[in-house]
Amino acid sequence: MSGGPARTDSGPGEPLAVAVLAGGRSSEHDVSLSSGAAVRDGLSSAGHEVVSVEIGRDGVWRRDGQTLRVTPGEGLLGVDVVFPVLHGPFGEDGTVQGLLETLDVAYVGAGVTASAVCLDKVLFKQLMSVVGVPQVQYVGVRAERLHRSRETVLEEIGRLGLPVFVKPAHLGSSLGIVKVNAAEEIEDALEQAFAHDALVIVEAMAPGLEVECGVLGTRPALASEPGQIVFHGDFYDFGAKYSSGAMELRIPAGISASAREQVRRLALSTFAAAGCEGLARVDFFVDGERVLVNELNTMPGFTPTSVYAKLLAASGVAYAPLLDRLCRLALARHEQRHAYSY
């Protein structure tokens, strides 16, 4: 399968040709490969023709081990739709989405702007503040500002109280997070985070349960049954997310009916405010009737046992039909955009 733009007339239920992108340059490369393999299997089981494209840690796109070269406006390998199962920088941040736009090919998930905004934890929280979404208190810190105005920055962070969480602003999968319990540890934690990113976010400790909600669709979208994250460590870090047995997802979450509806409503409004399309997972802290948005992930982990897939399955959308629906949403968006003259 090669060359030429894809067809755009595939009807409901008709098998599609889908390119699955996985890997990437970020530290989430291996997580992406695992998600990509699951997506390929799920699409194949649903009867679709799947083309695998791996993005190496060097950033090179390869198909069957051979370097892949593309031409703007000519699609990608003649497929109908691309499923970019990429996590973190250089994949989930609008860069690959922009390339797919120039290729003029339909692709699953958020567009360029929403991808860029949601991967920038500080920018995302600033946008949510403007639209009135309740969220965890935070301070965004740039390396140069810390070095220029150290006392002012430390004073701002001090107002958050202790403990706080220090995170690189553009990484996912809880990579690079440090929990700080003493004021004298703040600067070391910041420097550790700056090794990953020039922008760091410091978040206040939020009491309550960690709850997640999946969103599927565009306008209108479906909010899943919320699920509660139960973990055995000090906080929900990379190990808790990806080590066998370190985390349990409880569906339904152990929250009240009114808190459940708040979670679902805020998931949809946050998704819309960020300009997302197709899918997202929105993460919350729930303390009684108090619900705070933590962050939004535009391309969550995508194995059948990942949180997003489990949340949708508990809401009546099984894994293979979920993948099929996402591909068809991508095609519909692509066709709609072609109706504009620009």
Active centre residues (catalytic): 28, 173, 242, 281, 283, 295, 297, 301
Give how far the C-alpha of residue 269 lies from the chain's centroid of Cα atoms, to the nearest Å. 16
Find out whether 16 and 48 touch, Cβ atoms under 8 Å.
yes
| Helices 150-158 + 186-194 axis angle, to 10 | 110
Name 166's bridge partners: 178, 202
Give pairs for 268-274: CB < 8 Å, separation 24+. 268/215, 268/221, 268/223, 269/131, 269/133, 270/128, 270/133, 270/296, 271/215, 271/221, 271/296, 272/219, 272/221, 273/127, 273/128, 273/131, 273/133, 274/110, 274/114, 274/117, 274/118, 274/124, 274/127, 274/128
Phi, psi values for residue 10, rounded to 5°? -70, 125
- Distance (Å, whole) CA 35 – CA 242: 12
- Report d(CA 340, CA 326) in Å as an integer: 22
CA–CA dist 92, 106 (Å, integer):
16
Closest CA to 335 of 76, 14, 16, 80: 80
C-alpha closest to that of 82 among 45, 48, 51, 116: 51
Rg of the chain's alpha carbons, rounded to an integer? 20
Amino acid at 103: L
